[in-house]
Structures are given as C-alpha cells and as structure tokens.
A = this chain, B = another copy of it.
Amino acid sequence: MLYAQIHLTLPAWVHDVVDTGRSYPGDDAKVELAIDLARRNVDAHSGGPFGAAVFGPDDRIIAVGVNRVLPQSCSLAHAETMAFMLAQQRIQRARLNEPEPGVKSGPVTLATSAQPCCQCYGASFWAGIDRLLIGARSEDVEALTEFDEGPLPADWIGELQRHGIAVVRDLQHDTACAVLRDYGRLGGPGY
C-alpha cells in the first residue's frame, strides 16, 4: 500500500490561547509568544518543549507552531517547520515574503523559543523570512535536555545573512531556558 497523504495538526488548545487579532510589536514580544507556546505544549503533553510563530509586516501572527514529533510520528513536525507550513498554507505561497503585485510587502519574521536545529535551520532558507528571532541557544538545548541539535555550517549566522535573513539571539533568554530546564527535569521525551 502506498501512502500519498500527510496530515499534521496543532493541538486543539492553540485555538484557546492564540489571538490572531493582537499585535506583537518588538522582538521580545514575539519571542515571548514562542516561549509561551513551548511552555503550554509541555504542560499539555502535546509535544516537545519548543514553540515558534511567524509574524507579518504588521506584527500580527500569520501562523504558530509547536513541536509535534512524537504525537504525530513525524520528524519534520518541529515548531519552526509547523509554523512555516501553516503560514504558507494560510497565504498560499511557498515563499512567505515573495512580493505580490498590489499587496503591501514588508518583513516576515520567525520567532522561535530555541535556536533552530539543523533541519529547521535549513528550512529557514526556503520559507521566505526576513528576520529570525531566537530565545535559547543550541548549547542551552543540549545542556538542559537530551535533544541533539545537529550540525550547522561554521558561520551559520553569516550564511543566513547572505540569504537576506537577519538573526537576533538571546531574546528572553532566561525564560526560554526555564522551559527547557523544566522539561529536562521531567525526564522528557515521553511527550
């Protein structure tokens, strides 16, 4: 039997906590949302301790994502990749920041609770974002949990910048690390 359809979902609780009408001006507010999603995902046992959100030029949410790897048996279902796919499905474009005639353009931002692993790092090049906002570093993830973040190019930030993607790190760093620390203490995965 040949499988030909993939169906991935966010947990139902996102509808109760995410307000797409709200504006998130500034980098800290955006990463705060990503970290809040990570925390809620752990609390709800709906996936790993990672959250992300894609914001449009108006600082409003285009889509959010949380880690769904184990609940959905899908190694691609990281927080960042879920947010990318959902944002692209919503605006029906494979590259989020591709200019469209007659539509006001501006920066598209991904905020993530922790530095993208090697998979999400690679995905960031093709998703069509202009800015990447990061909470915890990969060193934090690997120190506080059992997750492997995988290999990156030596100058990983420079590579993004050369593709037009600005990187800001260490936003809400302590709050981001607290989620990872609590998850690590619980002995996760198992979520």
Which residues of A are in contact with B by a Cβ distance under 8 Å?
1-10, 12, 14-15, 18, 20, 61, 63-64, 69-70, 72-76, 81-82, 84-95, 117-123, 125-128, 148, 150-154, 156, 159, 163
Contacts and interface: CB of A to CB of B under 8 A. Distances in A.
B128 A63 contact: no
A148 B159 CA distance: 13
- Copies of this chain present in the complex amount to 2
Contact of A123 (B20, B75, B156): B75
B3 A6 contact: no
Contacts of A73: 88-89, 91-94
Contact of A75 (B4, B127, B150, B152): B127
Given A7-B89, A76-B85, A118-B121, 17 more contacts: A1-B20, A2-B20, A4-B12, A6-B82, A6-B85, A70-B94, A73-B92, A73-B94, A74-B85, A75-B84, A75-B88, A76-B81, A76-B123, A117-B122, A118-B122, A125-B151, A150-B163
